[in-house]
Amino acid sequence: MSHTKGFTLIEVLLSVTLIAILAAFTTPVYLSFFLSNDVALVTSDLASSLRRAQLLSRSGASDSPWGVAIQNQQIILFQGTTYAARDTTFDEITTFGSIIDVTGITEVTFSQLYGIPSTTGATTFTSAENNVSKTITINEIGLVSY
């Protein structure tokens, strides 16, 4: 009598079922983490752009004030007194996904040499998929916090 080695059909079906159940439970957790990470990255990008604009304004780079605007799923670091009157050759653009909604301040310019912001308040990024949000605030002396 010979014995063949291998798995029975029931063992294979049980293994596949177990893997499917695990995948069903872990996929929403992974998706939630992925979307939260997107919001955190955009928040970090805006904070970096605001700090860079303030530094460029304080240092007198190109003898002009610098600012940051949020337009059409983009964070734009620009040179000039306003976004509308900027010199587009100096634009530094960071894009982010369309699933992220923006509320609050969408344009800040920093005064030359002192780095005082033209506007104070908060900007909030919210994921439309899972309602995760992060807020960046800028105070009257230009301190950026989130």
Which CATH number fits the domain that encloses residue 61? 3.55.40.10
Those residues whose C-beta lies under 8 Å from the C-beta of residue 71, and which sit 6 or more positions away, are 83, 106
Per residue in 57-69, pLDDT (tens digit) is: 999 898 999 999 9
Contact (Cβ atoms closer than 8 angstroms) between residue 90 and residue 65 = no
Evaluate if residue 138 carries a pLDDT over 90. yes
In a domain, residue 2? The reply is no
Contact (Cβ atoms closer than 8 angstroms) between residue 124 and residue 133 = yes
Amino acid type, 133: S
Residue with the larger pLDDT of the pair 23 and 118 = 118
In a domain, residue 98? The reply is yes
> What is the domain range of residue 36?
9-145
Contact (Cβ atoms closer than 8 angstroms) between residue 77 and residue 68 = yes
For the full predicted model, state whether its pTM sits above 0.85: no
Per residue in 21-39, pLDDT (tens digit) is: 998 888 877 777 776 788 8
- What is the average pLDDT across 111-123? 95
Evaluate if residue 2 carries a pLDDT over 70. no
* Listed residue (47, 59, 110, 49) closest to 80, CA to CA: 110
Report the number of distinct structural domains present in the chain. Answer: 1
